[in-house]
Amino acid sequence: MKLNKRSGMTGLETAIILVAFVITAAAFAFVVLNMGFLTAEKAQSVISSGMSEASSALLVDSGVVGQFASTGGDQADIDLSKLTFYIKLSQGHEPVDLDDSKLVATYTNPRCHGEIYNANGTIMTIQGVNSDGDSLCETGEKFKVTIDFTAINMTTGVDPAQGSMDNVYTHPYEEFRIELRPSAGAVLTIERQLPAVYSTIMVLE
């Protein structure tokens, strides 16, 4: 009786092939998952950065106090000469540098617009109330901001129309805007409309 020779795969060879497939699939899955994690992390970083830029890093603490040169009489002569308010860091934001080299501040009324914060430090000044002595506005710290409009002259960043100081002052029933632009985060905008002036010191709502 003649026996035919037949060749086949042994269990060991089958196991080796299966292991090779499993290793290849695992390596491919690792690459796919790793790329997915990287993409998700990048998307999270972009969203976080976008939210940080969209929300203001600074907040006005309490109200805005205005000081006027006079009251009563001709309303055109009642000028807002000084503003005082306090700022603090928004929740969840990194510290903000309030140095004049990092922070840009502008003042706008119906007749003029320009920068009011510079190295001279005469128009707008920022002083720490409970800070640690540096210019960084950190969590729990407050800074006092004072804007002295009487210190504005023709050589500052503010250009009043026709070179008249009267154009710098904001009169009753007019709106004015102050913007603080930190190096990171959205602009802090303070907009007020002056009411009828009955006192030299008033809280502007």
Q: What is the pLDDT of residues 1-56, one digit of tens each?
A: 555 555 555 666 677 777 777 788 777 777 777 777 666 666 565 555 544 444 56
Q: Is residue 148 within a helix (H) or strand (E), and if so which, with residue range?
A: strand 142-148
Residue ranges for the chain with pLDDT beneath 50: 50-54, 74-75, 154-155, 162
DSSP 166-184: GGTSPPTT-EEEEEEE-SS
Gap between the Cα atoms of 79 and 172, Å rounded? 8
In angstroms, the CA 17 to CA 23 distance is 10
Residue appearing with tokens 């729990």 = 140
**Strand stretches in 6-99, DSSP E:** 58-68, 80-89, 96-97
Amino acid 144: pLDDT: 94
Q: What integer pLDDT is reported at residue 145 of this predicted model?
A: 94
Residue 51, burial from CB neighbour count under 10 angstroms (0-12, 13-18, 19+) = exposed
In this predicted structure, what is the pLDDT of residue 143? 93
Distances (CA, A) of 7 to 1, 4, 10, 12, 177: 19, 10, 9, 14, 91
- Residues 54 and 193 sit within 8 Å (Cβ to Cβ): no
Class in CATH terms, 58-204: mainly beta
pLDDT at residue number 160: 54
Domain residue extents for the chain: 11-54, 58-204
Longest Cα separation, the chain: 134
Is 120 in a helix, a strand, or coil?
Answer: coil
Collapsing DSSP to helix, strand or coil, 12 comes out as: helix
> E strand or H helix at 22, and its extent?
helix 11-54
